[in-house]
Amino acid sequence: MHLDIATIERTIAIVGGIVVAIVSAIALKNDWKTPGMDNQVFKIMLGLLALGAVIAILAGVGVLGNFPTKAA
């Protein structure tokens, strides 16, 4: 395994995505039963943050972003 800039960038994306996904899932679990419109918006924001973290993990692993250059 060679450590070029792309490998380092993917590693940082994977580790950062895991950390952000875990923290946002824990915060969403702790805030789930709170009432109020402000808290509902906060829950949506946490859910979107977790979704973005999963997308970053998938991009770092190489599942997303590897599209062919021309159709087969």
Residue pair 24/61 in contact by the 8 Å Cβ criterion: no
Residue-level pLDDT at 1: 65
Whether 72 shows a pLDDT value over 60: the answer reads no
Cα separation of the two ends of the chain: 31
- Give the DSSP H/E element, type plus range, for residue 19: helix 5-30
Residue-level pLDDT at 9: 86
pLDDT in tens, 5-42: 888 888 888 999 999 999 999 999 998 888 888 889 99
Nearest CA to 52 among 10, 21, 28?
21
The model's pTM: 0.76
User: Which ranges of 31-70 does DSSP label H, i.e. alpha helix?
Assistant: 37-61
